Chain A
């Protein structure tokens, strides 16, 4: 499925690899279980490594491995389940993660601006998605009243310009 990044769609260049399958010398997305199991083996790997975590995972478990990760994928199993918002925020805000945070699952355009403000980078979207709808949704409210992690310009009091 395509990936939405900075207002544009692009092909997904990450390959999802099962826990027991061999890892190709290309960007791979693996499970948390495999990441933890094979941490020592993966230490010598040069090609980009990504991990998909469930929404019940405390991102703290990734802390020692984050320098090796180029992608952390979080998930919304249902559109109203907002745990991924806090996971993204923790990763960015105090776990020091600077790579890509990708959001998969039941994501709708109305989540988009808030996900970006929590530190997410990209969203996995359905085939045939109109990126313009997501961009419009991102931009429709340009003012925020609290600290966030997207590009923001303080206005006054608690307020920021965010789009």
Chain B
């Protein structure tokens, strides 16, 4: 089969640009997978042998069909790539795709026989599905405002790309006890749910301006939620990969393999204790040779060049023009207030495109919407885009005086929902509508709750509120670190939902606490409404739900939910 012709990408969009070597690698990897499929069909590989190979190429078997999970490395994407994802959705799926909390995109209605052609179409825009599943190092995630945020200290994309390359088909760490997720940020503000990851990295600078890394280890969700603990305060840049190798090597050797619920690194770190784990990592580091693992400044420099600032225009009176536009149009003002973030470049902002319409399916985008967003990215943002772990899209660099035109374009595409970080910006896993692991539906619960919350928000202004829904204990919907977390369980064969309160993913990370007995499918949205009405009655002016909860404790919420009438 001929490879799909290479599609040119926008000049100023700062995605890592493949060269001939990278393209050759990707073509070889697709050839390898094609051969693996052929050997499976010929009976040369058993299903047991084939499954990890298939997963490492992003192919899952779900309830109704195969699901292909495509990597969006650290959530950075350009318009040509997004347009191609739209084409794939139209041609090989049912006309839409689903953006995930891992900053990837999933196609939920994939035919096995179409997969090689889909991989070729992805390769035409330097994309792939490598290591989006399986017990290997997964897509590194990062801040959706990386390279743009006003509060950024160092650009995490550079090191995320280095991690991507280093972890790609890593010879030692491709058959780990369990999946391995790394998140990296370059600002003090934690917008990436750092401590829920196997390894969380924060890029820092010392007093002399040299780059180093704070490393936390042993976080994870699932049935045993644990927040990552500090391991290293400041690893010098040159020793970054060596340190990662040592951590992974200790995990590969000692992580449990018999019980998949005890196989993540969080259990190993918990069992050994932070100091015990650190001791083993340091023993490795003391003996590993330095030279082969040294991250050379020339490598960092060459990768950094891919993420150079785009050609920003002078600020002029962009800020004043934006102020005038917001005064003229309250709906636009509301969108600007909630869906834009400060930019490091004067005259610019980052704009969030919510994929959370009230009553809609979190993270879903139609092919037409992907194409519309690609067009808008080209008109207003150098053709560059991000996927956030909250399942939204971001245009990282938009001139303030073009936000109004952008917003009008978003309105036309049905993508102007002003709710980023608000109660109706719900994270939800695909749940029992798609997933073979789920106990309960997530999507319709999310749809119901978003309507309830939106109605309350209109009269009471709830402010920042994080509601997250998982359809089973594997916690893909991040419910453990939600202000209001909802977990679907099976109760005597019926869908039921447990509610946890007080969790948070960021700098104030916490695991939510179970409030009481579960609620039926019919009752759960009403329960969330009671929780929020209780908050409204108790809150100090401007107080967020989670802060009220932490101040007053469980009692009033329990009372509202469970007291007999």
Instruction: Output the nearest chain A residue to B32 by Cβ-Cβ distance.
Output: A140
Q: For residue B91, give the distance in angstroms from its CB to the closest CB of chain A.
A: 27
Contact B287 A94 (CB under 8 A): yes
Determine the chain A residues whose CB is within 8 A of the CB of B252 once the complex forms.
82-83, 85-86
Question: Digit string of A48-91 for contact with B (CB within 8 Å is 1, else 0)?
Answer: 00000000001000000000000000000001111101110110
Chain A, 112-131, CB within 8 A of any chain B CB: 113-115, 117-118
> Which listed residue (B169, B287, B303) contacts A157, Cβ 8 A?
B303
Contact A85 B21 (CB under 8 A): no
Contact B168 A147 (CB under 8 A): no
Given A140-B32, A158-B162, CB of A113 within 8 Å of CB of B171 = yes
Q: For residue B351, give the distance in angstroms from its CB to the closest CB of chain A.
A: 33
Contact B171 A141 (CB under 8 A): no
Contact A144 B172 (CB under 8 A): no
Contact B28 A140 (CB under 8 A): yes
Contact A82 B175 (CB under 8 A): yes
**B329 adjacent to chain A (CB < 8 Å):** no
Chain B, 156-195, CB within 8 A of any chain A CB: 162, 165-176
Report how many A-B pairs have Cβ atoms within 8 Å: 103
Interface size on A, residues (CB 8 A): 38
Given A80-B135, A86-B249, A157-B165, CB of A108 within 8 Å of CB of B172 = no
Instruction: Output the nearest chain B residue to A148 by Cβ-Cβ distance.
Output: B171
Determine the chain B residues whose CB is within 8 A of the CB of A141 once the complex forms.
25, 28-29, 32, 169
Q: With the chains together, A118 CA to B24 CA distance in Å?
A: 23
Determine the chain A residues whose CB is within 8 A of the CB of B175 once the complex forms.
80-82, 85, 111
Q: With the chains together, A94 CA to B246 CA distance in Å?
A: 13
Q: For residue B166, give the distance in angstroms from its CB to the closest CB of chain A.
A: 5
**A19 adjacent to chain B (CB < 8 Å):** no
**A46 adjacent to chain B (CB < 8 Å):** no
Q: For residue A66, give the distance in angstroms from its CB to the closest CB of chain B.
A: 14
Determine the chain B residues whose CB is within 8 A of the CB of A146 once the complex forms.
165-168, 170-171, 241
Contact B172 A145 (CB under 8 A): no
> Which listed residue (A86, A93, A133) contacts B253, Cβ 8 A?
A86
Determine the chain A residues whose CB is within 8 A of the CB of B29 once the complex forms.
141
Contact B289 A93 (CB under 8 A): yes
Question: Digit string of B9-25 for contact with A (CB within 8 Å is 1, else 0)?
Answer: 00000000000010011
Q: With the chains together, A94 CA to B249 CA distance in Å?
A: 13
Other 4 A-B pairs with CB < 8 A, given A82-B172, A85-B252, A94-B289: A81-B175, A115-B171, A145-B169, A146-B241
What are the nearest 5 A-B pairs in CB distance? A82-B175, A117-B171, A114-B171, A145-B165, A147-B292
A to B CB contacts below 8 Å, 12 in the list: A82-B175, A86-B172, A87-B253, A89-B249, A93-B288, A140-B32, A141-B32, A145-B165, A146-B171, A156-B21, A156-B302, A158-B166
